[in-house]
Amino acid sequence: MVDSIARITSALESARELTLEAAAVASSRFGETSYHRYSQHITPEGLRSLLNSRNDREVRDGMKKVASLLASDSENVDLESYFADVVKNIGSSTDIKVKRLVSIYLLRYAEKQPNLALLAVNSIQKSLADSDPQSRALALKMLSDIKIPSLYPIVLHSVKKAITDSAPEVRCSVSFALLKLFREQGEHVVEEISPLLKDLLADSDITVVSSAIVLLKEAFPDSLELLHGHFRRYCDILPQITQSSQVYLIDLLTEYCKKYVPRPVLTDSCDSSQTQILPEAFNAIPFATYDVTFDPDMELFLQAIRQMLHSPNPAVIVSISKALFELSPPVSFKNSKVTEVLAKLVSVPSLANDNGIILQCILMYCAVDPTTFSMFLKKFFLFPSDDTPTAIYKLKIIAALINHSNVKQIVPELKYYILSDQRPSVVQEALNSLAVCGQLSQSLSLHITKWLLAGMANTDKSSTLEAYVSFIRFLIQEYPSQHLGTMIHLIKALRTESSLSGSAKAGIIWLFGEFTTINFSICPDVLRIITPSFSAESRETRLQTVLLAAKILSCDLENFKAKGESVDEEYEFENSRVAQLAQAVFYLAKFDDDFDIRDRARLFSSLFDKQKFEVASLLLQAPKPAPICCMTLDIPTKVDAASMARLGLDHDMEDYLLSSPWECEQSDISAELRKPADLKDYDRFKTSFSSASFFNGNSNRDSAHGKADNTSNTPAASSRVFTSSVGKKYQLQSLDEFFSEIPSRPRNSVRKVMVEEDSTTTEEDTSEESTSGEESSENSTSDEDSSEDSSSEEEEENSMGSKSLHVLEVSESL
Helix H or strand E encompassing 693: none
In a domain, 735, yes or no: no
The string of pLDDT tens digits covering residues 105-154 is 888 888 888 887 887 888 888 888 888 899 999 999 999 988 888 888 99
Question: Does 506 lie in the same domain as 615?
Answer: yes
473 φ, ψ (degrees, to nearest 5): -60, -45
Domain limit, last residue, from 586, 615, 633: 633
* CA angle 32–35–37, rounded 5-degree value: 155
Q: What is residue 779's predicted lDDT score, i.e. its pLDDT?
A: 46
Among 46-50, 234-238, 344-348, 772-776, the minimum mean pLDDT is found in: 772-776
Residue 2 lies in a domain: yes
Domain membership of residue 795 as a residue range = 749-772+784-812
Does 701 have pLDDT greater than 50? no
User: Is the same domain home to 328 and 310?
Assistant: yes
How far, in Å, CA of 469 to CA of 655, rounded?
A: 35
Residue 269 lies in a domain: yes
CA angle 686, 691, 693 (to 5 degrees): 65
- 441/528 same-domain check: no
532 and 454, same structural domain? no
One domain, residues 487 and 511: no
Residue 655 lies in a domain: no
Determine, yes or no, domain membership for 684. Answer: no
Domain endpoint, select from 282, 308, 336:
336
For residues 519 and 419, state if they share a domain: no
**Quick check: 635 and 367 in contact, CB under 8 A?**
yes
- Show the 3-state SS of 12-32: HHHHHHHHHHHHHHHHHHCCC
In the predicted model, is pLDDT for residue 716 greater than 50? no
Is residue 564 domain-shared with residue 627, that is, in the same domain?
Answer: yes
Of 343-357, 395-409, 700-714, the range with the lowest mean pLDDT is: 700-714
Q: How many domains does the chain have?
A: 5
Calculate the CA dihedral of residues 257, 260, 262, 264 and round it to 10 degrees: 10
Spatial CA neighbour of 228 closest among 206, 205, 259: 259
Final residue in a domain of this structure, among 318, 336, 354: 336
Same domain assignment for residues 542 and 467: no
265-268 and 290-293 strand pairing = antiparallel
Q: Do the domain assignments include residue 591?
A: yes
Do residue 324 and residue 306 come from a single domain? yes
* Claim to verify: residue 506 and residue 629 sit in the same structural domain: yes
Q: Are residues 439 and 548 in the same domain?
A: no
Q: Does 739 score more than 80 pLDDT?
A: no
Q: Does 806 map to a domain?
A: yes
Q: Is residue 427 part of a domain?
A: yes
For residues 231 and 631, which has the higher predicted lDDT (pLDDT)? 231
Are 444 and 510 in the same domain?
Answer: no
Residue 739's H or E segment, with its range, is helix 735-740
Q: How far apart are CA 514 and CA 587, in angstroms?
A: 23
Categorize the per-residue pLDDT at 703 as very low, low, confident or very high, splitting at 50, 70 and 90.
very low
